[in-house]
Amino acid sequence: MSVKHAISRGLELGRSVFQLGLLKPAGRLAAKFRGERLRVGQPARTVQPQTFLPARYRYYRMSLSGLAAQLQSGGLRRLVGGGSLRNRAVFLAFGVGLGLIEQQLEDDRKSAATCQEIQAIFRKTKLQNSFKPFTSGYKLEDYVIGRQIGKGCNAAVYEAAAPFAVPREHGTCSIKELNQNKDDNKLAGSFRFSPTANYPLAVKMMWNIGAGSSSEAILNSMSQELVPAGPQALKQEKGEITLNGRAPTRVTSHPNVIKVYRAFTAEVPLLPGAQEEYPDVLPARLNPTGMGNNRTLFLVMKNYPCTLRQYLQVHEPSWREGSLMVLQLLEGVDHLCKQGIAHRDLKSDNVLLEFDSVGCPRLVITDFGCCLAEKNLKLPFNSRWVNRGGNACLMAPEVATAVPGPNVVIDYSKADAWAVGAISYEIFGQQNPFYSPKGLECRSYQEKQLPALPASVPADTQLVVRLLLRRNPNKRPSARVAANMLHLGLWGKRALANLDQASMKKMADWLLCQSALVLLKGHGPDRSSVEGELQRGFLSNLDFEDLHTAVGFLLYGREQHLCITP
C-alpha cells in the first residue's frame, strides 16, 4: 500500500470518526434541548433494548472499543513523534477501523433489539387458518361421501360433509347407503355432478397393503400422515401412539400447511370408482384378487377447489400473484423446517389452492406421506434401502447424489427450499426445468443451464429462484432467508434503495413503520387476506441475522446486476 493511499484512507476514516464522534452527540444534545423546552408533564419511561451479544462476548465488545481508542491515541502520538510515514498512517487507519467496527456492532445491537420487540408483538397473535372449530365425529359413518376428487400413489381422496350439511336432492349418500346400493350404476354416476360447494370437507382413504388391520399397527405404519393432525384429531383412538418410545412429531397450525381435523381407522368401504380405479388395493371381501387389508386410515381435512397444478393449467398468474405464491410456499417450508419436518415430496400436485376475499390464491402444502420428522432434519444413509423421499425429479442435488456408507448423513434442511425454486418455473408459466425427457437432471445439472424466467418477473424474484436452485446447499439461502428477500422485494423497496450491508438502521426504521401499518390493517377486512397473513408472518418471524443475510443476498444481486431495486 502506497503512502498516498494510506494517508487518503486514514483521512477518510478519520472524517467518518469525526462525524460519528462529534456531530452525532451535538445533534443529540440539540434534540434533548428542544425536548426539554417542549416537554410537558412527567418524562416518559424509556424501554431499554435487550442486549444483542451474549454475555461471553460482551468483554470482547468492550475490549474492542478500548483497543480502538488506544490505537487511535497511539497513532496520533506516532504521527507527532516520528517514525515511518506509511506505518503511522496504517497504524492510525487500523485504529479508526476498529472504532467503526464498534459503532457498527452498536447499530446492529439496536437493530436486533428492534427485531426482537416486533417479533414479540406479532407472536402474541398466533398464525392460524381462518377455519371455524371442527366438531364432526370420529367414525366414517359420521360423514356423507361425495365423488372422488383425487388419487395418488397411496391414497384416494373423496369430497365429504356432515349429514346435516348436504341437501338430499344432490344425489349424496352415507356409507350405509353406499353398501346398500353399491350395484346401482345411476347412484355412482350422480357423484360426478355433485356441487363442490355442498362438500366443505375431504376424506383421504389410505391404501393399506402391508400394515395389518389393527388400529395400532395402522397408526404406527402411517404416522407420517399424522404430522399435520390437530390436537383433537385422534381423540377417540385407543392407546397412545409411540414411535421408538416417543410420541410422533406434530406440526402446529400455519396458513400455508394443511390441517388434518380428524384421523381414525375404519373398515375399507366400496366407494364410487374403487373397482375401476384401484381394485388391487381393495381387501378380498370387496375384490377377490385384491391385496389390501380390511381396515385402513382415514383423514378428514378441508376440501380445497383444486391443486396448484390444476390451477396453473388454466390460469397464468400475474407477476405479483406469482411472487406471493412462491412466498407462501417458502413460508410453509420454513414453518415445517423450524419444527423438524422435511416434506421431501414437494410438487405442484401436493399443493392445494383456494382464494381469499379479494381473489388472491392461498396455497397450502399437503400429503406428508414421504416426510422426514427429525429435529435436526438429518437422515443416516448407511444403506441403499433407506428411503430418500418422493419425486426423484425434484430431489435436491445433495439428496440425489448422496452415496450410502458408514457415517453418511443426508441433510434435508434446504432440500424443500430447492424444490420451491423448481416449482417457481411452473408458477410463472414455464415448463419445470427438471421435468420431461429433455429436462435437466437434478444430479448433474449446471446452474448456467437453468432457463431464464419471463422478463415480466421482478428481478428480486428471479434472483431468489436462481439462489434456491444453487447446487451447493452451503451457498443456497434457507427458506426463511429466501422468504425475507421476497418480503423486502414486495414491500421494502424504499428501505433497500439507499441501504448498504454495513448499516441496518434504515431497515429497522422501516420495520417499525411496517409494523404500525400491519397492526392498523389487522383490525379490518385485510386481516384474512393472503397479503395480510404474509406480512404478519414476516414480522412474527423477524430474526436479525436472517434479515441481514437476506439484505446481503439482495445487495449481491444488485452488484451483479441480477437484482434492480428502485
Distance CA 474, CA 27 (A): 44
Residue with cell 341437501: 167
Long-range (24+ apart) CB contacts under 8 A made by 315-319 are: 316/429, 317/361, 317/427, 317/428, 317/429, 319/428, 319/456, 319/457, 319/458, 319/461
b/e code 253-266 from CB counts within 10 Å (16+ = b):
ebbbbbbbbbbbbb
Distance CA 547, CA 563 (A): 17
Distance CA 170, CA 144 (A): 12
Distance CA 260, CA 229 (A): 4
Closest CA relative to residue 140, chosen from 262, 275, 294: 262
Distance CA 140, CA 195 (A): 21
What is the Cβ-side half-sphere exposure of residue 113, based on CA atoms within 13 angstroms?
14
Residue with cell 390437530: 230
Active site residue 349: no
List the catalytic residue out of 108, 142, 183, 345: 345
The total of other beta-carbon atoms located within 10 Å of residue 212's CB is 14
Distance CA 329, CA 365 (A): 7
User: Which residues are designated catalytic?
Assistant: 345
